[in-house]
Structure 1
Amino acid sequence: MKTKPENDTELRIKINRETARLPWAELERHFAQGSVIFVSVELDLVDVAVRVSHDDKESIVRWMAEGKIAKVNDEQTQAWTAAQASLWTAVVSPFVLVQPEKSKLH
């Protein structure tokens, strides 16, 4: 469902307030359910969450084609588990968007 642009500010503020840094260990159960989406550090996590909530297929398909967003894979989970990584998270039901800290590589 598309939301009017004037509502973006409120949605952006809501998502920003709910964005948190969480240990990967707390996110693993969501990964097991297939609902964790990796967001490249090249993108703004809140912007991606807003576009996902608006079902902006054009942006999502483009980012997927560019490898900037994708379902989290086993290789990433193993690296994050080994590093006891914490990730920035934003929830856009039913998805949990995750992004490594910009100062660290994924």
Structure 2
Amino acid sequence: MSEHPTSRQELAAKIDVTDWFSLRAHLERGGVILVDRMLDLAEVAVAVAGDDVKLLERWIATGLVGKPSAEQMKSWDAQAMKIFNCLIVSPFVLAQEVPEEKG
């Protein structure tokens, strides 16, 4: 019985924070996958790393995972310091919006 090489805990420990302009470079090569805040970023990373097609297809079909829309990109382009949590699962960069602090 072999253990999955990348555990949720290992991936969760690698979550980083970046701004939109840093992510945009990856977007141009098609490598950015946007993850809805309803999902756990590390769980999505496990599904991507493990090639869990059925789970990923379900998330894509419900709009919880996918490529950023043109409207989202335009909005983020206007926000110089828009912050995202990100996690690299080569060849992809999983990105999740960080809610803006109120106050």
Same structural fold, with TM-score higher than 0.5 when normalized by the shorter chain: yes
> Following superposition, which runs of at least 4 residues in structure 1 exceed 4 angstroms of deviation?
none
Alpha-carbon distance, 1:80 to partner:
1.4
Does residue 65 (structure 1) correspond to residue 61 (structure 2)? The answer is yes
Query: If the length of structure 2 is used for normalisation, what is the TM-score?
Result: 0.86
Alpha-carbon distance, 1:83 to partner:
1.7
Give the partner amino acid of 1:77. M
Q: Distance in 2 between matches of 1:35 and 1:25?
A: 14
Give the partner amino acid of 1:62. R
How many residues align? The count is: 99
Q: Which has the larger share of helix?
A: 1
| CA RMSD after TM alignment | 1.8
Q: Distance in 1 between matches of 2:39 and 2:77?
A: 23
Query: If the length of structure 1 is used for normalisation, what is the TM-score?
Result: 0.84
Give the partner amino acid of 2:63. G
Q: Which runs of 5+ in 1 are unaligned?
A: none
Does residue 91 (structure 1) correspond to residue 88 (structure 2)? The answer is yes
Does residue 23 (structure 1) correspond to residue 19 (structure 2)? The answer is yes
